[in-house]
Amino acid sequence: MEEENIRHGERPRDIVHPGSAGQQLYQSLYKFASFPEAIIDAHTNEVISYAQIFETSCRLAVSIEQYGLNENNVVGVCSENNINFFNPVLAALYLGIPVATSNDMYTDGELTGHLNISKPTIMFSSKKALPLILRVQQNLSFIKKVVVIDSMYDINGVECVSTFVARYTDHTFDPLSFTPKDFDPLEKIALIMSSSGTTGLPKGVVLSHRSLTIRFVHSRDPIYGTRTVPQTSILSLVPFHHAFGMFTTLSYFVVGLKVVMLKKFEGALFLKTIQNYKIPTIVVAPPVMVFLAKSPLVDQYDLSSLTEVATGGAPLGKDVAEAVAKRLKLPGIIQGYGLTETCCAVMITPHNAVKTGSTGRPLPYIKAKVLDNATGKALGPGERGEICFQSEMIMKGYYNNPEATIDTIDKDGWLHSGDIGYYDEDGNFFIVDRLKELIKYKGYQVAPAELENLLLQHPSIADAGVTGVPDEFGGQLPAACVVLESGKTLTEKEVQDFIAAQVTPTKHLRGGVVFVDSIPKGPTGKLIRKELREIFAQRAPKSKL
């Protein structure tokens, strides 16, 4: 019997590719091989074509296999957004070898912890990330080889892609002589992404090839896809190592779009890129929306090519959405909502029914419900509860972590998002709060447990609790309550510097540090985060960006 109050995504307009994501991507790159532009670096205007990606990814696949890797190994990629980023990703997807991506801004300690989860055998690194990779490799014996993705030459004995592939393929190599492997797309791991989930430290999110091929259906959908006409330009700014950037950008290759890429957000360059490339569509995180709503720079550029602005990854204020739509003369703003654990967006605003403030409706192949955690019942329109999803698109689980998996996906296969929300009579969803402890600064994940563990290692700190304080630009700023060891003193700045020395800038304690006598805890010793938030709410707001 069909359960009451389950919200089904619309009927799909396209069927899921029956094979692997690697097979589908291989077919798409081949189909679009005559298109001169696949990715353009807007900083340098460097371009690579569909034919080049097709050939390089196939040569890399042959080489990775000949080098000795198989489906029991993992391929690592650590790079800033880069036009060569996807070559090793595609190669591994053709072979059915899992790919794990790493944030290139990590400190040595963060990267070491991160790589210890997936244990890649071979690391593909950008020139920029190479010193970091070589430092951490000294203590990580599972990394047998490092290859540089964006250099024409070897760097101090570290092979570049051309040298690596020249050993196993020659200049007569025909990509059509290579065939992606055939396997069960539901079983085979495509990627291992990083997320802290609802609680604790960052974990490896295991996504199958089927997760990706469902995303590709969404990207080709005329109502939910970002752009569906081949060769249309799209600006890609979200980090490729994160699920949002990874799966939106991969899906652009399936549609045959021209991806104009930025490594990082710089206001003037961002606006100049839209103007010069006459970009019709941008997909950005909410802080960029605040910039579009408020910055005087916006008036200095011709942005009339823009017909679609899409955002996601963190809450978007209704006022901000309305201000951007008004300023850019758009009928509305497209919002998507997703988790690393759902691969990509599971809800998007339908193009034909934009409702400002809503995160959209469940996509084809997705079931959603609003759960009353007290009764276990799915709630009806207007009632608030935890939003849960069921789909072949959601993760298979956390890598080598069955306990965390059971805490997140229940016995009936529902993924508990940790977000509180509701849907209206038309089936539009709204996110109102976050039940889980995750902090999101500019759309980036910050796991309180990770910062608390570091704070507790300070000899003068007896106890600590970390939470997010609201901020207009950042969304939330990580902030700490600290209990000092008796007789010890520390300043707010000393605590901030202690953390800043150990973590990537997105995790710095920009929301401040408050010294307290005790950390609010429940009877079982569990931290009460709501009370932590209240401590900061009583403080005068201060934004340090």
Stretch that binds ligand M24, among 26-34, 184-192, 311-319, 374-382 (CB under 6 A): 311-319
Residues in the chain: 545
Q: Return d(Cα 379, Cα 368) in angstroms, integer.
A: 11
Is residue 474 near ligand M24 by the rule CB under 6 A? no
Q: Which of 433, 428, 403, 401 is nearest to 417 (CA)?
A: 433
Using CB under 6 A as the binding criterion, the count of chain residues that bind ligand M24 stands at 29
Measured from the CB of residue 164, what is the shortest distance to ligand M24 in angstroms? 31
Is residue 365 near ligand M24 by the rule CB under 6 A? no
Q: Is 526 a catalytic site residue? A: yes
Cα angle: 309, vertex 246, 79; to 5 degrees: 115
Residues 6+ apart with CB under 8 A from 235: 42, 260, 261, 262, 270, 273, 274, 277, 279, 281, 282, 283, 284
Is residue 338 near ligand M24 by the rule CB under 6 A? yes
Is residue 350 near ligand M24 by the rule CB under 6 A? no
Q: Which of 337, 389, 422, 429 binds ligand M24 (CB under 6 A)?
A: 337
Q: Which of 121, 137, 359, 476 binds ligand M24 (CB under 6 A)?
A: 359
What 8-state DSSP symbol labels residue 200? S
What 8-state DSSP symbol labels residue 313? S
Is residue 335 near ligand M24 by the rule CB under 6 A? yes
The region, left, alpha or beta by phi > 0 then psi within -120 to 50, assigned to residue 278 is: left
Q: Which residue is nearest to ligand M24 (CB)?
A: 312
Is residue 334 near ligand M24 by the rule CB under 6 A? yes
**Per the structure block, which two tokens stand in for 60?**
């890399």
Residue 483: other Cβ atoms inside 10 A: 16
Q: Return d(Cα 193, Cα 211) in angstroms, integer.
A: 13
Sign of CA dihedral 132, 102, 93, 142: positive
Is residue 110 near ligand M24 by the rule CB under 6 A? no
Measured from the CB of residue 476, what is the shortest distance to ligand M24 in angstroms? 10
Q: Return d(Cα 326, Cα 344) in angstroms, integer.
A: 28
The footprint of ligand M24 on residues 433-462 (CB under 6 A) is 434, 440, 445
**Per the structure block, which two tokens stand in for 503?**
């973590």
Between 445 and 467, whose beta carbon lies closer to ligand M24? 445
Measured from the CB of residue 243, what is the shortest distance to ligand M24 in angstroms? 4
Is residue 429 near ligand M24 by the rule CB under 6 A? no
Q: Return d(Cα 131, Cα 265) in angstroms, integer.
A: 23
The contact mask relative to ligand M24 for 235-274 (x = CB under 6 A, - = no) is --------xx---x--------------------------
Q: Which of 139, 95, 135 is nearest to 116 (CA)?
A: 139
Q: Is 128 a catalytic site residue? A: no
CB of 337 within 8 A of CB of 218?
A: no
Residue 74: what are its φ and ψ, rounded to 5°?
-130, 140
Q: Is 340 a catalytic site residue? A: yes
Is residue 292 near ligand M24 by the rule CB under 6 A? no
Stretch that binds ligand M24, among 337-345, 398-406, 480-488, 532-540 (CB under 6 A): 337-345
Between 95 and 469, whose beta carbon lies closer to ligand M24? 469
Between 73 and 340, whose beta carbon lies closer to ligand M24? 340
Catalytic residue among 226, 340, 359, 405: 340
Is residue 310 near ligand M24 by the rule CB under 6 A? yes
**Per the structure block, which two tokens stand in for 112?**
């070491």
What residues act catalytically? 215, 242, 340, 440, 526
Residues that bind ligand M24 (CB under 6 A): 195, 226, 243-244, 248, 283, 310, 312-315, 334-340, 344-345, 348, 359, 417-419, 431, 434, 440, 445
